[in-house]
């Protein structure tokens, strides 16, 4: 979901946590004992999926957020603190996505390697409550996801040097799949006439996607202020006018968002509404979005079908 729509952690989180791509916090844990599995925590479902693809059988991966949870609004449970306390490596998105993590790390203490998957990538910014903040949804450009995998590989090797060959081979195989995915998306988008590649979504989530794959973001139903903020009558009227003026064909909402505003705007603007895209979380069993690659394929197919 949107960085402009939710209450994002300030950019200073990146400084406070001091999490460069592979930095220990506050120190590097002891070497991995032979014959044991690396204890790993990932914040989100899609990062957990990426980590499992690289780690294979050498790590036990615990994901903090359940399927369908919003990382912008997530409130950690005691079990999450316990998982972090025993973790040797923690993988996070960064760029302000996990506002809950700073106090949780402070309360847990201890030593673990913390890997910020988005570290090293240029960030787009969005306006929220009168200030510019980072948009954390970098994984919607698959080239950025490949960079995530490079950081994941480096973190796993730092924690478990004996597994270097396994992590390298797994990462190479997975990155090849991601390069294929990126090419597939480019080809799928060609089905949409360029003048129809316009997006209206629940939240300002698709900026990186739009920039990579040639879309124009016309607007969002919830432009700023967090999920608790409701669009005003003026906001809705302005968005309807923009939809009509630009020839937008469909409005897209996320699987975790009540579609009532989208359905109202779609009726008034005379366009269709697609009520289930997966953004900050993978889908559950049978959803068709159970992995990061599946999520991207699911969303792209829905977008292409609605706009072509």
For position 30, what pLDDT does the model report? 52
**53, 96, 153, 209 from 12: Cα distances, Å:** 31, 8, 26, 25
Listed range (24-28, 57-61, 88-92, 175-179) with the worst mean pLDDT: 24-28
Q: Which residues are CB-contacts of 131 (< 8 A; sequence separation ≥ 6)?
A: none
Q: Is the dihedral of CA 200, 280, 91, 146 positive or negative?
A: negative
Q: What pTM was estimated for this model as a whole?
A: 0.88
For the residues 3-17, what does the mean pLDDT come to? 36
Residue 68 has phi, psi (to 5 degrees) of 90, -5
pLDDT tens for residues 41-82?
999 999 999 999 999 999 999 999 999 888 878 899 999 999
DSSP state of 275: E
With a cut of 80, say whether residue 21 has pLDDT above it. Answer: no
Residue 112 has phi, psi (to 5 degrees) of -165, 155
pLDDT tens for residues 217-237?
999 998 655 555 678 899 899
With a cut of 50, say whether residue 159 has pLDDT above it. Answer: yes
Beta bridge partners of 128: 131
With a cut of 90, say whether residue 274 has pLDDT above it. Answer: yes
For position 2, what pLDDT does the model report? 41
Q: Is 194 exposed, middle or buried (0-12, 13-18, 19+ CB in 10 A)?
A: exposed
Please give the Cα distance from 51 to 249 (Å, whole number). 37
With a cut of 70, say whether residue 19 has pLDDT above it. Answer: no
Number of other CB atoms surrounding residue 232 within 10 Å = 10
pLDDT tier at 33 (50, 70, 90 boundaries)? low
> CA angle, corner 248, sides to 179 and 215, nearest 5?
25
Domains and CATH numbers, the chain: 12-184 (3.40.50.1980), 187-307 (3.40.50.1980)
């Amino acid at each position: 979901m949107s960085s402009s729509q939710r209450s994002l952690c300030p950019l200073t989180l990146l400084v406070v946590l001091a999490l460069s791509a592979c930095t220990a916090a506050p120190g590097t844990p002891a070497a991995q004992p032979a014959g044991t599995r690396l204890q790993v925590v990932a914040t989100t479902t899609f990062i957990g999926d990426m980590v499992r693809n690289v780690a294979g059988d050498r790590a036990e991966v615990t994901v903090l957020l359940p399927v369908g949870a919003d990382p912008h609004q997530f409130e950690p449970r005691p079990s999450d603190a316990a998982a972090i306390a025993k973790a040797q490596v923690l993988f996070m998105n960064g760029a302000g996505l996990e506002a809950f993590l700073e106090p949780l790390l402070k309360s847990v203490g201890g030593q673990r390697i913390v890997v910020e998957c988005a570290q090293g990538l240029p960030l787009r910014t969005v306006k929220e409550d009168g200030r510019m903040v980072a948009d954390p949804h970098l994984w919607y450009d698959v080239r950025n996801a490949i960079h995530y995998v490079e950081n994941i590989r480096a973190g796993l090797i730092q924690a478990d040097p004996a597994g270097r060959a396994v992590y390298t081979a797994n990462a190479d195989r997975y990155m090849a799949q991601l390069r294929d995915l990126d090419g597939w998306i480019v080809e799928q988008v060609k089905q949409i006439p360029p003048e129809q590649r316009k997006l209206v979504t629940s939240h300002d989530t698709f900026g990186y996607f739009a920039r990579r794959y040639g879309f124009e973001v016309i607007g969002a139903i919830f432009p700023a202020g967090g999920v608790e903020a409701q669009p005003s009558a003026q906001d809705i009227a302005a968005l309807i006018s923009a939809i009509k003026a630009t020839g937008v064909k469909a409005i897209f909402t996320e699987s975790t968002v009540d579609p009532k505003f989208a359905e109202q705007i779609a009726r008034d603007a005379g366009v269709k509404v697609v009520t289930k895209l997966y953004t900050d979380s993978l889908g559950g069993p049978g959803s068709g979005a159970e992995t990061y690659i599946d999520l991207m394929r699911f969303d792209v197919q829905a977008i292409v079908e609605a706009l072509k």
